Each structure stands twice: as structure tokens, then as C-alpha cells.
Amino acid sequence: MSSQIDSSKDKSIRENRSRCDSFVDRLEQKLKCRREQNLFRKRHTLASRQGSTVKIDNHELINFCSNDYLGLANHPEMVSAFKKTADQYGVGSGASSLVCGRCDLHQRLEEKLAEKTGREAALLFPSGYMANLAVATTFAGRADGVFLDRLAHASLIDAARLSNARLHRYQHVDPSSLDLALKKSSSNEKLVLTDAVFSMDGDKAPLKELISVCNVNHAVLVVDDAHGFGVLGKTGGGLLEEKEIPVGDVPIFVATFGKALGTAGAFIAADQTIIETLIQFARTYIYTTAQPPALVSATLASLEVLESESWRREKLGALVKRFCSGASALGLNLLSSETAIQPLVIGGSENASRISHNLFDKGFLITAIRPPTVPEGSARLRITLSAVHTEEQVDRLLETLGSLL
């Protein structure tokens, strides 16, 4: 009897191993296909601080692919605030915000963000991805419709899909396309989600026109200003401030800390009822550990720097103009962008990867962005500028691009 049991166990183990081997073989085939299509992603490992220059594998590189638009990731006041708070509060928050993970610093940051955005309340999230998931899954369901720009960020696309609402895609920055989609929809609630600044193209959403379309069609507009908050507007309030759009015209505002503010995390700002609804029903808020207090403290310090060092936005704007002017003189195929995101479209993925590698060899870090992140045939170098770059570094980049293209 014992030998029969042992034999049965051995057979089961062999079958499990066979299934596992088959599973791994299928994965290997998938990876092989991605390599052959020149779409295989490789990670860089920095051996230095984030900044205008970084070190990778003993190579000193000028960094033109970071989202640290204002160069705040290493700001001494933020570093000091982080260290001081870690000494006082420790490292981890210990629990979710609804259990015991929320401290007075979280409350202070939420109040500061509400004040900064001119809204009644704000709510913190560990990432912009989670904030966008919270919005769509809380405010849309099976009987509703979610409407997205064709070039919406992946977090907005995934959020819409996970909401179980019907997903509608309208043409990029085309209010008339959105208007048509909304008019055709019989959904109960209509939720329109848009980037303010599109992360791969660097262009801006036509917010005033989108607001008009939403008002006519009784839709709720949600704006994700991840790449504009801190950079655009007189005080860094983002695209809404730049366009002088009243707060009430955009019911829900989302932004992140991991770009211009130089830390990590995100927030949603809205009226008190909307925020309270998120607290009660948003799964990505309820079931996740609260941000570490030291990180919250660094973000508070970042908002103070944002107010006191406006020269950073001014310098960034000047560098963007310098780069665009130089690129135009060289005949480079830049997309139309006035922001720190300057996409240089190459076309094929293999060619984009080759140029990225050549730039690396010449001392520049610029990642090749390829499908599925961008549409087929539009692989590009996503060049991003920062307030801590120098004019000389920008000019050197232009000279190098001119020699390679």
C-alpha cells in the first residue's frame, strides 16, 4: 500500500514539473519574441543620486530622461526634512490610513494640498497609478461609461477597465470627438478622464474645450496633472492655473509628487463629499499602507521650496525654449510640445534603440520609448529637461543629436 502511495506521489510530482516546464517554455517564447521585435526592456541601475548627471556602470552620463523637472529630488531642505522626520517618527507608517498609519503629517500635507489647489479637501495615495484606480473604480461601474483620450496614460486605461464601466476612447486632444462619444452614450454616469500634460507627447489637453463638452453632456471631468503640477502656472499650480480655469470647472483633480516635486506618491483634490466617498469606498486607499511619515515631510518641504524658488520654473522654461530653438535649426523631428517633455520621433524600434545606445556611448542617458508604450511606428527618444541642467549641457545634447541624426 505504501509503495502505491509513493508511486502516486512521484507521478504527481512529475506531472507538476512537466506543467511548470511547459509554462516556463511559453514564457521564454514570449520573451524571445519581444527581443526579436526590439521591444525588450532593460533596467538601468544608478550608482549615484538622481540629478542632471548620474553614474551607471562606471559611466558618467548627462541625464535627459528623468521626470525631476525642477531638480528637487536632492534639495537640501527636503533631505533635511526627511532625515529629521525619520529620527522622530521612524521609517514605516505601520498600517493603512484607516487603521493607525495616518499621523499629523499626513493631515498637514492633505490640508496644504487642498489649499494649494483651492479645494475643500485632498487625499494621499502611494502612487498616481493607485490614485487613478481609486477615481475610476469608485465613481464608475457597470451601468456607467468612462471616456479616455486615445493617448491617455496606462494608469487611466487600467483604471477604466477595472471599473467595469464601458470604455470609450476619443481622438487625441479632440473635444468634438469626445462630444460625439458622450452624445452616443446611454450610460448612467459619464466619467471623462484626461491627462493634463501627456507623458509621451508632452502636449497639453484642451481643458477649456473639454470642460464645455462635459458641461453640455452632463459628464464629470477628472484631470490628471502629473506632469504639469509644480511646473506650469504662475505658482506651479499646474495646467488649470496656467489656463486660469476655475476650480469648480474640474470636479476631481489628480497629481503626483514623483515628478516636479521630487518625492513620491500622489493625491486627489476635490470637494469634501467626493473625498469622503473615496475614504469610504476606494479600495486602493482602504487596503494599502500609508506613506512613510518622512516621505510626507519631504513633500511638505518640497511645496515650500516650490513657493520660495520660482526661479526653477523660469529657468526650466528658458531651457525648453533653447532646446526647441536649437532642434528646429537642426531640422530634428520633434513633436509639438512647450513642456519639459520633448519627444524626438525616430519611427522604428530598432533605430530608436540604436540611437539611444549611441547617445549612451557619448555620455547621455536618454531612453528609447517603444510600443506598446507609444503607437507602432512612433518609437522615440523621450528627452526631458530639468531646471538643474545647464545651457552647456543642452547645447552639447543638440550638437550630439545633430551628429547622429
Give dist(CA 345, CA 364) in Å, integer: 17
Q: Which three cell numbers stand for residue 166?
A: 464601458
The DSSP code sequence of 76-136 is HHHHHHHHHHHHHH-S---SBTTTT---HHHHHHHHHHHHHHT-SEEEEES-HHHHHHHHH
Examine the residue annotation and report whether 259 is marked as an active-site residue of this protein.
yes
Helix (H) or strand (E) holding 8: helix 2-36
- Whether the Cβ atoms of residue 212 and residue 245 lie closer than 8 Å to each other: no
- Whether the Cβ atoms of residue 359 and residue 366 lie closer than 8 Å to each other: yes
- Whether the Cβ atoms of residue 290 and residue 360 lie closer than 8 Å to each other: no
DSSP bridge partners of 268: 123, 254
Of 225, 164, 228, give the one whose Cα is nearest residue 191.
Answer: 164
Q: Which segments of 264-363 are extended strands (E)? A: 266-270, 341-347
Q: Which three cell numbers stand for residue 159?
A: 483604471
Give dist(CA 405, CA 403) in Å, integer: 6
What are the two backbone dihedrals, phi and then psi, of residue 100, each rounded to the nearest 5 degrees?
A: -150, 25
**CB count in 10 Å sphere of residue 153:** 22
- Whether the Cβ atoms of residue 266 and residue 128 lie closer than 8 Å to each other: yes
Cβ contacts of 285-289, under 8 Å, gap ≥ 24: 285/97, 285/98, 285/123, 285/125, 285/130, 285/134, 286/96, 286/98, 287/96, 288/96, 288/125, 288/126, 288/130, 289/92, 289/93, 289/94, 289/95, 289/96, 289/101, 289/126
Give dist(CA 28, CA 46) in Å, integer: 28
> Grid cell 511548470 — which residue?
20
Q: Which residue among 187, 199, 356, 386 is the active-site one?
A: 199
Examine the residue annotation and report whether 84 is marked as an active-site residue of this protein.
no
Q: Which three cell numbers stand for residue 329?
A: 535649426
Q: Which residue among 153, 204, 227, 389 is the active-site one?
A: 227
Contacts of residue 336, Cβ cutoff 8 Å, sequence gap at least 6: 203
Catalytic residue annotation: 199, 227, 259
